[in-house]
Amino acid sequence: MTTDKPRPNLLDVARHAGVSPATVSRVLNNTARVRENVRERVLASVAALGYEASPSSPSTALLRQNAIALLIPDILNPYFTEIVRGVQDEACGDKLMPLLLDTAEDPQREIEVLRMLANQPVCGIIACGSRIPTEDLIAIRSHLSTPMVIINRTLRLPNVACIIVDLKNATYRATRHLINLNHTRIAYLTGPSKSETSLARREGIETALTEAGLSLRPEWCPVSFPDVDGGFQAMSAVLALPPTERPTAVIAYNDLMALGMLHAVRAHHLRVPEDISVVGIDNISMAEHSNPPLTTISPPKHRMGRTAMQVLRRMMNGQSLPEEGYMLVECPLIVRESTALAPGSNGHGSSPR
């Protein structure tokens, strides 16, 4: 008994030709200029596979030619919305349409969204702060030929570009700032502790502590959801320790957690920075207006979004990427009033490096 083979679809042609579904669509619909050698490769794949385009509505064709899937972990986090704004500002000139997909800090939801994109072709994908395990991301990527840019995640695969904030160096400098203020008991509120970005943050902190002959104690590294409530709960757990066992300075996974930490410190009748210094990461707009204003690491969020779109555009046009496949983004430490000399210091801390 024989069974009918499934008809080849646009994704099959894209995989066979080694191009994106958007490029196949451009060739078949003659909607944009494509390099001649790429056009010939696509048409050869169409003939080899026996592909026949199925009728679709004009709106569906337009969507496939112009849509960019933009995945973010948390639409309520201002860090990601600034990146989204950068993507939108850069995409506007090309009349590309970013489709915002919020995965709600849920790895399973992110997996489902990426699998859905394998069956709903788009021009390109920008994934920001992916939370799923590397092996799952690689497996899903094997079913996607669409050009992809990943922000804050390293994935060395063809047709994938990465934009990475140098968080290890940034948290190293933030920790050195606290050490120079005579802090010796420094904690790290880890957020999603197994994520690549959290591990990079922790590595920078531990490197600076080790150089100073200090260590990061396990009870000072509670895991929590990376939002304001998570920061409040994690900081409350740290402050439940006996006074002599508490840290005098804390680095938060992000600014949202740091804002929750400020609340927790006040709720325990302590003061920032007189009793505990607090450092955030992200420099969201609220950080400057918190009480006290928050010392924080400041990635160039809007520029990262624009850069991601610029790189994706080059990939969509068939241009090659740098051999290393990723870009490293530096970010400064913004010192504000939430950090000060450690309690009981002699008043002679070193200047920040």
| The pLDDT of residue 348 is above 70 | no
> 10 Å Cβ neighbour count for 48?
12
The number of distinct structural domains making up the chain is 3
Residue 351 in any domain: the answer is no
Residues above pLDDT 70, as percent of the chain: 89
Contact call for residues 163 and 149 (beta carbons, < 8 A) = yes
Residue 314 in any domain: the answer is yes
Q: How many helices (H) and strands (E) does the chain have?
A: 12, 11
Higher pLDDT, 262 or 348: 262
| The pLDDT of residue 250 is above 60 | yes
CA atoms within 13 A on the CB side of 312: 32
Same domain, 74 and 97: yes
Cα 24 vs. chain centroid, distance in angstroms?
29
Same domain, 248 and 233: yes
* Res 94: pLDDT: 77
Higher pLDDT, 122 or 338: 338
Residue 334 in any domain: the answer is no
Instruction: Give the closest residue to 221 by CA, choosing from 197, 259, 185.
Output: 185
- In this prediction, residue 5 has a pLDDT band, given cuts at 50, 70 and 90, of low
| The pLDDT of residue 347 is above 60 | no
Q: If DSSP states are collapsed to H, E and C, what string results for 291-309?
A: CCCCEEECCCHHHHHHHHH
Same domain, 37 and 67: no
* Res 286: pLDDT: 95
Same domain, 98 and 148: yes
* Res 51: pLDDT: 80
Contact call for residues 170 and 203 (beta carbons, < 8 A) = no
* Res 273: pLDDT: 98
Same domain, 99 and 125: yes
Same domain, 283 and 173: yes
Higher pLDDT, 13 or 270: 270
- In this prediction, residue 9 has a pLDDT band, given cuts at 50, 70 and 90, of confident
The bridge status of strand 186-189 relative to strand 160-165 is: unpaired
Give me the CATH number covering residue 81.
Answer: 3.40.50.2300
* Res 169: pLDDT: 97
Residue 353 in any domain: the answer is no
Same domain, 67 and 130: yes
pLDDT tens column, 86-138: 999 999 877 788 999 999 999 999 999 988 887 777 889 999 988 898 898 88
Same domain, 112 and 231: no
* Res 2: pLDDT: 47
| The pLDDT of residue 267 is above 90 | yes
| Cα-Cα end-to-end distance for the chain | 75
pLDDT tens column, 209-235: 999 999 999 999 999 999 999 999 999
Same domain, 207 and 259: yes
Phi and psi based region of residue 169 (left: phi greater than 0; alpha: psi -120 to 50; beta: remaining)? alpha
- Could you give the C-alpha distances from 45 to 16, 17, 39, 140, 201, in angstroms and in order? 6, 6, 10, 23, 45
Residue 104 in any domain: the answer is yes
Q: What is the DSSP string of 62-118?
A: HHHHHEEEEEES-TT-HHHHHHHHHHHHHHHTTT-EEEEEE-TT-HHHHHHHHHHHH
Residue 346 in any domain: the answer is no
Residues above pLDDT 90, as percent of the chain: 58
CA atoms within 13 A on the CB side of 346: 2
* Res 222: pLDDT: 94
* Res 63: pLDDT: 45
Same domain, 283 and 323: no
Q: Give the integer Cα–Cα distance in Å for 81 and 111.
A: 21
| The pLDDT of residue 351 is above 50 | no
Residue 130 in any domain: the answer is yes
> 10 Å Cβ neighbour count for 104?
12
pLDDT tens column, 268-318: 999 999 999 999 999 999 999 999 999 999 999 999 999 999 999 888 888
Same domain, 79 and 177: no
Q: Give the integer Cα–Cα distance in Å for 106 and 112.
A: 10
Q: Give the mean pLDDT of the chain.
A: 87
The domain of 22 spans 10-49
Report the pLDDT averaged over residues 180-198: 93
Same domain, 273 and 180: yes
192-203 b/e (C-beta count within 10 Å ≥ 16 → b): beebbbbebbbe
Residue 137 in any domain: the answer is yes
